[in-house]
Structure 1
């Protein structure tokens, strides 16, 4: 019984080359490695596959039968690999994109534009704060804000640096007024996260600066920040891509310098060069480059 199919690959190389040295050159391994593989295969089959001559290796009758079958297997494998690679190169099927929930509304017009141009591609969005594992096939493309992803075998490209600031509704501003600076918090109500997030500058600012009595509403996701601010609950810190696209919200202050968030485009190296992935990445990067600077800065 053949337990290591690589040994058959070595035997086929010997049959084609006629010598151990020729097979070793083709396979880019040592002469002794080829010999060890042939000996292991003959031992596993309990059959001599080659006659050893001074001029080289000649297949026995059993060897010719096995090499013929191996040739057919190799041809079928080559055809299968070609078809599989062809599937990756076809501009069709499903493209799975993962991002955080509060970026979905802003990305949706970009995705719709891509699909309008490429109707045969079905887009699937998985919105989670958790970073999906691209190496396990959970998604093809990740669009992630925050620190640069460092997982091995990931291809990470810079998207934009998103601006962030404070927003409130017109009704809230009529009630409580605008802020003149980040120090001007007296008399204002704020919206924040249920978690301490020192790695997110604007959430950390609320935690460090705003008295607990003025934080009147908390939620576990960033998406509800916008809805709470729109309803006049209080002032919410959010990325300007979201705030500027909502006509019911008004910017309270220019974006503070330290409140920027990097956006990363992430793929796995095994999928990075496929046609669908490259086409969508090009489309996305072009769309991000066209955003006004008050929303994002191209990295």
Structure 2
């Protein structure tokens, strides 16, 4: 087997689970992933090695001769890995090192008190907070914990937990209200100016509503950064759809509409299965869940 034949060593982990369980469904249950994920991993490994590893029978999967050789090597690798993990867990219990957290830039100000509180209680841990609209790849170590608003992440091998459901509604400045008057309902659009993103965000209900319901001539400002919506609204440019967690803590913004239930955005806590049980990750997850549960209902509700 050449050194480049297996690009994703995690595929061996899936193959070993299939060999032990004898079925895709048994391996999927053990690994806590879907049946299709296991099948995809096995197919990818066989394609990379250019050989058949399992004989498919109606009642299960039986390793071929090549599969038996590979499974024996994988067993040895697993034993060595278990020994290494045991040693690393002992290091982890000391609760030191770096914890990398990733989220979107608009949530940084809101998360900062939570992050600071955690660090005050766990001063040995160095925290890195990375703001990026791109979903950093946890499986490559780009981050340890993702705090993601929007659709539920579906990447294989990720552990995804609901954190809170954030309220969203429309906000503008006092100056804007004095100039253009209040917004009485979502049908009361005449005479109002709106702020919108440059590209479509149909997976964010409040922004999708603006894209579908507000006439183009009333959208007077567009921005490619969510933080720009807030700045524009505070400066009287127009009405913006914002997370209430952001807007309610900012001076100079007035709520124009009670938050519609269908505009809520789920906030997810995401980890990779290989890091999920480490002590510092578990401590931070427990900390942020507890802190988010204390938010008032006008900002977020429990999912």
Please give the TM-score of this superposition, normalised by the length of structure 2.
Answer: 0.72
Residue 15 of structure 2 corresponds to which residue in structure 1? Answer: none
Question: Which whole-Å CA distance do the structure 1 matches of 2:227 and 2:139 have between them?
Answer: 28
Show CA shifts across 1:239-264 (max 9, x none).
10001111210100100121111110
CA separation in 1, counterparts of 2:128 and 2:265? 25
Alpha-carbon distance in 1 for matches of 2:302, 2:261: 15
Mark the runs of 5 or more structure 1 residues left unpaired by the alignment.
4-32, 41-73
SS at match of 2:275: helix
Residue 222 to residue 81, structure 1, CA distance change in 2 (3 Å): closer
RMSD: 2.3
Structure 2 match to 1:59: none
Please say which structure displays the higher CA radius of gyration.
Answer: 1
> Does residue 122 of the first structure (1) align with residue 131 of the second (2)?
no
Report the counterpart of residue 220 of structure 2 in structure 1: 216
1:55-81 CA-partner distances (Å, limit 9, x unpaired): xxxxxxxxxxxxxxxxxxx99x95x65
Helix, strand or coil at the partner of 1:270: coil
Q: Which residue of 2 aligns with 1:285?
A: 289
Is 1:260 aligned with 2:273?
no
Partner of 2:262, secondary structure, is coil
* Partners of 2:263 and 2:194 in 1: CA distance: 17
Aligned equivalent of 1:225: 229
Q: Deviations over 1:142-170 (max 9, x none)?
A: 00111111111111110001110000111
Aligned residue pair count? 230
Aligned partners of 2:140, 2:300: CA distance in 1, in Å?
31
Taking the TM superposition and a 5 Å limit, the aligned residue runs for 1:152-231 are 152-231=156-235
Which whole-Å CA distance do the structure 2 matches of 1:253 and 1:82 have between them? Answer: 54
CA separation in 2, counterparts of 1:135 and 1:177?
50
Is the 8 Å Cα contact of residues 162 and 296 (structure 1) preserved in structure 2? yes
- Runs (5+) with no aligned partner, structure 2: 4-64, 73-78
Contact residue 90 and residue 276 of structure 1 kept, 8 A: no
Residues in 2 aligned to 1:131 and 1:199: alpha-carbon distance in whole angstroms: 15
The normalised TM-score by structure 1 is 0.73
Does the 8 Å contact 1:98/1:128 carry over to 2? yes
**Runs ≥4 in structure 1, deviation > 6 angstroms?**
none
Q: Secondary structure of 2:291's match?
A: helix
Listed one character per residue, the Cα deviations across residues 10-59 of structure 1 (whole Å, up to 9, x for unaligned) are xxxxxxxxxxxxxxxxxxxxxxx9xx98xx9xxxxxxxxxxxxxxxxxxx
**CA separation in 2, counterparts of 1:126 and 1:136?**
15
